[in-house]
Structure 1
Amino acid sequence: MDETRRGRVIGLWESGVSVSAIAAEVDISLSTAKRWIEKFRVGGIAGLQNHRRGNGAARQTTAVEDQAIVAQVRADPFQAATIVCLTVGVAASPWIVRARLKEAGLKCRRAAKMMDLTNRH
């Protein structure tokens, strides 16, 4: 929820509007309205600050490492992601390598594995 809506919730609450009426007016759930009011009561204005710094875990590779991964795959597109990790020297999993390639619009290709021909073929 953005800061404007949070401020609106607190403003209405301080002016004496019921929590259910606040939730209906701001178009949020009752539990969300209660949670922001409680955060304000405990921490004041500082309690309303957005505590989220980003989505998910911290990025495991730097921009330089990302460029090295992409350059390696452009040079040899048929390397497995594990080999790319070892060649570039990045301490990341093959899933991370595939994610960086996807961001660059590339894929980690694998050579097709065919059955060996026998005398019957």
Structure 2
Amino acid sequence: MFRGHVNRVALRGRIVGMHESGKTAAEISRELGVTKDTVYLWIRRWQEEGNLTDRRRQGRPRETTNDQDEEIREAAEANPFTNAVAITEDLNLPVSGRTVRRRLHDQERFLFIQDRCPIHTSWIVQRWFREHPEIELMDWPSKGCDMNPIENIWGNIVNTWEPAQERTSHALLEHALREWEILRRKPDLVREHVESMPRRLQQVIEKEGGWTKY
């Protein structure tokens, strides 16, 4: 735990330094005794501005209104498959997709789930997560892919695949894209899988890490 009176800028520098050394926001928060929101704030400020000092109070006007911020939040909650650009277009907002993405990040933090498949633990993937500290990566056991709800989503795509008719890589890609668009219009399906996580984890505990029905 980081204690005592320290210079605020020095503390922010430690946050950035620990992040660049590969530590997660949760680890930095615990070691320095600051909130994860504070960690995210100064990592993002450093990446966007290269500056760890306090901003001046006056600045350019905010690009979105409170009502628009609420509409952005509601659109993201209504469709988990959506993205910042789609929200911008759907709501006909007079701002860029990047601005909408910032509003989403300001309103909540994202917890990303992926298993420990080698392609997920590769250096390029880990670097991407370090460059996007607003997305927190959930700790995951080495053997736990059956706990990941995305496996069920992939299953929906695979189960509708007809190898006899879709034999080429191009046909397979077209099939995957077509089925993904269908799933995008079924947010309740995704929500159902996400809400099953407590049951999934309980089964893992009961099976002592063994195979579950999921």
TM-score with structure 2 setting the length? 0.25
Structure number with greater Rg is 1
What is the TM-score of this pair, normalised by structure 1? Answer: 0.42
